[in-house]
Amino acid sequence: PTTTVPTKIRLNQLGFLPAAQKIAVVPGVAATSFSIVDASNTEVLSGSLSAAATWEPALESVKIADFSSLTKTGNYKIRVTGVDDQAAFAISETAYGPVNAAALKAFYFNRASLALVAANAGQYARAAGHADNIVKIHASAASTARPEGTIISAPKGWYDAGDYNKYIVNSGITTYTLLAAFENFPDYFKTQNLNIPESGNSVPDILNETLWNIEWMLAMQDPNDGGVYHKLTSKGFSGFVMPDQDTSERFVVQKTTAATLDFAATMAAASRVYANYESQHPGLSAKMLTAAKNAYAWAKANPAIYYSQPSDIQTGGYGDENVKDEFAWGAAELYIATKDDSYYTALNPASLDANIPSWGSVQSLGWISLAHNLDKLTAAADKTLIKSKLDALAATLVSKKQNSAFSVSLEKGDFFWGSNSGAMNQAMILLEAYQLDKTKHQYLEAAQSLFDYVLGRNPTDYSFVTGYGNKSPMHIHHRPSAADGIEAPVPGFLAGGATLDGTYDCGASTYPSPLIAKSYVDNECSYSSNEIAINWNAPLVYVSAGLQVLTAK
C-alpha cells in the first residue's frame, strides 16, 4: 500500500473540556491554515496547520490543527480549505461525565447471576443468567479435599467479555483498575449515581459494582489451601443467545500461580479500599486481607504452575508463563496492606521496570499502588525510585507522541488484540505520572491524545465506545447485544479496536485495509477487533474520570 490523504477531519467526537489540549487530525492537503466557526458560523479562531507528515500505522498523510487556546464552552466546526468535511465538536464543562458513567454501568450490564430489572437496565432488562451455584471441580483442579466432580458455589462476577465465562487473571487487573480509579479520584466517584441495585446505600457506586465481582473472586479460592482456580467456565463457548439461555454445565479449572497472585494482589488492594466502609460491610476488609495472604503463601509454595488448557475445555486461556510481574504486584500490594518489609524486599524494586499494564504484565499495577500510597510506606521504601519508574515510562510515551504525525503515542507494535485497551492503559500511566508532578502538562496532554484516539481521532472514523460519539460500533461481538433483539448495542462498552491479530475471524477480505491501524470492522464475527472485555473497559473508566477531574479549569 502507498500513502494516502484521507478525506475526513478526525477528532474526539465527545469534544473537550475548556482547559484541555484540543487537537484535530486533518487531511494532508495544501492548505496551511484552519479556522473554527461557532454555531452561527462566525469565525472564532484561525490557526496554522502543522506540516504534512505520514502516520506509519495507517500510511496516511495528515496535518495537525491545534486549537487548545479556544476555551469558551459551545458548539463549533473546523474548516480547512480543500476539505469538504467540517467536523463538529463541543467544548463543555462536563464533557466526559456521561461516558464515564456509561463505561462503569457496562459492568452492571455484564453481571452474572442477576436479573437486570427495567428500573436499572431500561430496555436492556433481561433474565438472570448463570447462577453458578452448582459448579463442578474439573479433573484439572481435583485435590484430596475436593475430588473431581465436587460441587462448589461461585455465583456473581462479571462475564469476561462477549462470552459468558469468568476468568481470574483478567478479573484481577480489571477489578484493581476500578479500585485505582476510585483511589485516585474519590471525590468524583463519591457523588456518582449509576442507578444500579445498590445505589443509595452510602457506598460509592464504583465500589458497589466492583464488589459484585470481588464476591465471586473470593469464592474461587480453595479454602483448604489458599490456591485460586484459573477460571469458571463452560466447556466451550455458547451460541449467541441471552445469558439465561446458556444452561451448559459449569466448571472450575486448574489452580495456577498467575491467577493466585493476581487474586492476592487484588484482594490486598481491596482490603485497604473497603476498610473505609467497615460499617456497611463489617469484616469484609479483614476477610480480603486474609484471603490475599493465603493466596500469596500458596503461590510461594507453588511458584511455577502455569495454565495448560485441558483437552475438553475450549474457552479463553489467559495463559502466562512469566509470573515475575505477578509476584511483584502481589508483594507490592501486600507490603502496602501489612507494612511488613519482607514483602518490599521480595518485590526487589530496583530490578523491576515499569511497563504498560495488560492482563499478562501487571508489575506497573504495583508501581501505581506504591506511588499512590507513598505517605503510608515504611522507611524501607525508596520513594524517589518509585516515582521515577512511572515518570520514566510517561516520558517515553510523550516522546512517541511528539514524533507522531497523529500526535498520539501509538506505534505499529501497539496494535495487538485489544489495542484500544493498550491506548487506555498508556493513558492511565500518563495520568498517574502527572499526578506525581503536576508541572508536567505534557503527560496530561499525551493522555488526552490517547483518549481522543479512542473517541474518534483515528483512521477508522469510529468512536470505539458503544452509544458515544456520532459514529460508534453497532455490531459488537457481545452475546447479549446480539441476542436481545434491540438494534442498539448495550452502551458504554469499548470495542477491542484495530489489529491484525486474527483477521481470519471474519475473513481477511472483510477488513477494510491490511494496514494495521485501519484493520477494524464493525461486524459481530470480529472477535479480534470488535469484541468488548472488562479489562478494556476498566482503564476507560479510569481515564475518562481522570481527564474530567484533572483538566484544570
Interface residues toward ligand 9MR, by CB under 6 A: 160-161, 163, 316-318, 417-418, 527, 531, 533
Shortest Å, Cβ 428 to ligand 9MR:
17
Q: Which of 309, 333, 323 is nearest to 257 (CA)?
A: 323
Q: Is 531 a catalytic residue?
A: yes
Minimum separation from the CB atom of position 357 to ligand 9MR (A): 12
Find, among 542, 509, 505, 546, the residue nearest to 103 by Cα.
Answer: 542
Q: Out of 163, 262, 326, 333, which one is annotated catalytic?
A: 163
Query: In whole angstroms, how close is the CB of 178 to ligand 9MR at the nearest point?
Result: 17
Q: Coil, strand, or helix at residue 118?
A: helix
Nearer to ligand 9MR, 414 or 445 (CB): 414
Q: Provide the angle, in degrees to the nearest 10, between the axes of the packed helices 257-274 and 205-219.
A: 140
Least distance CB 437 / ligand 9MR (angstroms): 32
452 in catalytic set: no
Question: Shortest gap between Cβ of 82 and ligand 9MR (angstroms)?
Answer: 41
The amino acid at 186: P
Q: Which three cell numbers stand for residue 1?
A: 500500500
Sign of CA dihedral 119, 124, 127, 130: negative
Per-residue b/e over 433-452, b at no fewer than 16 CB within 10 Å?
bbbbeeebebbbbbbbbbbb
Could you tell me which of 106, 35, 93, 11 has the C-alpha nearest to residue 471?
11
Looking at beta carbons only, is 162 or 459 nearer to ligand 9MR? 162
Smaller CB separation from ligand 9MR, 55 or 167: 167
Catalytic residue among 246, 333, 524, 531: 531
Q: Are 331 and 343 within 8 A, CB to CB?
A: yes
Query: Given the complex with ligand 9MR, which of 28 and 162 has the nearer CB atom?
Result: 162
* CB nearer to ligand 9MR: pick between 442 and 499: 499
Q: Measured from the CB atom, is 390 or 428 closer to ligand 9MR?
A: 428
User: Which residues, at least 6 apart from 411, have a Cβ–Cβ distance to it below 8 Å?
Assistant: 56, 57, 400, 404
CA–CA separation, 283 vs 127, rounded Å? Answer: 32
Residue in 477, 478, 505, 524 annotated catalytic: 477
Chain-centre distance for alpha carbon 195: 21
Do β-strands 135-137 and 251-255 pair in parallel, antiparallel, or remain unpaired?
parallel
Q: How far is the CB of 503 from ligand 9MR (least distance, A)?
A: 13
Q: How far is the CB of 288 from ligand 9MR (least distance, A)?
A: 26
Q: How far apart are CA 428 and CA 298, in angstroms?
A: 31
Eight-state DSSP code of residue 201: S
Phi-psi label, residue 203: left if phi above 0, alpha if psi -120 to 50, beta otherwise: beta
CB of 538 to ligand 9MR, least distance (A): 12
Cα gap 467→478, rounded to integer Å: 14
Eight-class DSSP state of 146: S
Candidates 320, 333, 522, 524; catalytic one: 522
421/548 with CB nearer ligand 9MR: 421
Please report, to the nearest 10 degrees, the dihedral formed by the alpha carbons of residues 356, 357, 358, 359 taken in order.
160
Question: Residue of minimal CB distance from ligand 9MR?
Answer: 316
In whole angstroms, give the CA distance from residue 260 to residue 248: 26
Rounded distance between C-alpha atoms, residue 498 and residue 319, angstroms: 23
Of residues 233 and 448, the one with the C-beta less far from ligand 9MR: 233
Question: Among all residues, which ones are annotated catalytic?
Answer: 163, 477, 522, 531
